[in-house]
């Protein structure tokens, strides 16, 4: 494998990362426990938050950990095979696979848990810093979706300030763009809540760890 040129190794990493990302823990656990399709229940998102609505706290925790673990695995294997480039390609491919899994008609989760796991391997400081920002915002606003998405959106800035590595910065920016596209309905809901007169709900959308 290491005798292969870098482009071939990156292609292998991308294929592996995508395949691992397609293994959607929420969908398969709910299918196994209830025979139902998680994407037809509640928010319709095949991620940890929606799985928790069906399976309870233990189900939420299991899906969150499994989705994060597959991102970490893809990034770790990619780093082993092709260094920084491989780690970032593996991370991005696993996120894409989670959100758009081929075997589930390209309807998966929203990628936050998988992105957290993947970038804990590639850029741990940025993940920890942005998680701290999100938790601080949540403590102030009590709006989890808005706080979490703000933490995600700040990742390229935090990564760029903490580590002057163009490859990692570009990967973070692409990952954030992909995750925000997956959360476009939640962002639209947050804009509607913000623009509505009078008191509104404390949070909006089906966001969270997807």
Q: Distance between CA 64 and CA 58 in Å, rounded?
A: 10
CB 97, CB 113: distance < 8 Å: no
The one-character DSSP state at 203 is S
For every residue of 33-93, DSSP letters joined together read: HHSS-GGGSTT---SHHHHHHHHHHHHHHHHHHHHHHHHHHHHHHHHHHHHHHHHHHHHHH
CB 187, CB 180: distance < 8 Å: yes
Task: Identify which of 4-8, 150-154, 174-178, 194-198 has the greatest average pLDDT.
Answer: 174-178
HSE, CB side, 13 Å, CA atoms: give it for residue 83.
7
**At a CB cut-off of 8 Å and minimum separation 6, what does 49 contact?**
43, 60, 206, 207, 208, 209, 210
Of 24-28, 117-121, 180-184, the one with minimum mean pLDDT is: 180-184
User: Any idea what the Cα angle at residue 75 is, between residues 109 and 98, rounded to 5°?
Assistant: 15
For 96-121, the three-class secondary structure string (H helix, E strand, C coil) is HHHHCCHHHCCCCCCCHHHHHHHHHH
Give residue 196's pLDDT: 54
pLDDT, tens digit (0-9, with 9 covering 90-100), for 80-114: 999 999 999 999 999 999 999 999 999 999 999 99
pLDDT, tens digit (0-9, with 9 covering 90-100), for 21-54: 999 999 999 999 999 999 999 988 898 889 999 9
The mean predicted confidence, pLDDT, of the chain is 87
Rg from Cα positions in the chain: 17
């Amino acid at each position: 494998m290491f005798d292969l040129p870098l482009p071939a190794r990156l292609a292998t990493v991308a294929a592996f990362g995508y395949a691992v990302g397609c293994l959607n823990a929420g969908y398969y656990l709910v299918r196994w426990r209830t025979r139902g399709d998680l994407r037809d229940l509640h928010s319709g998102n095949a991620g940890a938050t929606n799985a928790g609505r069906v399976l309870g706290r233990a189900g939420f925790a299991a899906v969150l950990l499994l989705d994060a673990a597959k991102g970490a695995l893809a990034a770790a294997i990619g780093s082993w095979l092709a260094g920084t480039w491989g780690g970032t390609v593996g991370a991005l491919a696993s996120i894409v696979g989670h959100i758009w899994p081929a075997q589930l008609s390209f309807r998966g989760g929203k990628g936050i848990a998988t992105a957290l796991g993947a970038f804990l391997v590639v850029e741990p400081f940025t993940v920890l810093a942005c998680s701290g920002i999100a938790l601080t915002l949540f403590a102030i606003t009590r709006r989890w979706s808005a706080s979490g998405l703000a933490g995600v959106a700040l990742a390229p800035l935090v990564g760029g300030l903490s580590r002057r590595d163009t490859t990692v910065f570009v990967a973070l920016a692409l990952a954030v763009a992909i995750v925000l596209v997956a959360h476009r309905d939640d962002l639209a809901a947050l804009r509607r809540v913000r623009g509505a007169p009078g008191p509104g709900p404390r949070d909006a959308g089906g966001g969270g760890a997807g």
